[in-house]
Amino acid sequence: MTAPLSPVRIVDHPLVRHHLTELRNEETVPVAFRRHVRQLASLLAYEATQDLAERPVEINTPLTGMAGSVLSSTVGLVPILRAGLGMVEPVLDLLPDAQVWHLGLYRDEETARPVRYYSKLPPGQPVDVALILDPMLATGGSANAALATLKAWGVPQVKLLAIIAAQAGIDAVIAAHPETAVHVCAVDAELNDRKFIVPGLGDAGDRTFNTLG
């Protein structure tokens, strides 16, 4: 009997390790930090979209006719504000026809629980596949809230793309949404007492938007 595939897919590649090291480095300035986020988001999206549905088409090249294929799934990109915004553009470069829907979630510093402050998903007509974009999967609270929101919208397939995850966050997502594929570049073992991933990279939103103060 074949064992079921793990819902966690770690993108193991020299380019990932290179960009991830630069991203973690505290000396990396915001403009470079954003560039490395874009590169890693592209690599994550490439891996996460390998099973998108296709349909055959007939086209003409400058030399002859041939059979090709195009995507047939409607895809939605769902960045979790605000850090997830840095992952949208590179994924849109790969999927220019994707819809983009925003979810605003922040972590209450006292309880470490997610608080939703923005959501504008349209009633009915959900996309076929949704990709949740968030650089960090720490406790799993924001990810689970986003997954629950998209399930309520009626999306049949949802995937989570995170650059760095804590094992605790992965465990929380799998426990609540075992059918969800989680694509990450690295899994770190610990959360500190402030629920930040260790070694992690600090606050992804502040480093992306240069608001460290």
For 145: left if phi > 0, alpha if psi spans -120 to 50, otherwise beta; the answer is alpha
Residue 83 is encoded by which pair of tokens? Answer: 């850090």
Active site amino acids: 107, 111, 203, 206
19, 36 contact by CB (below 8 A): yes
84, 146 contact by CB (below 8 A): no
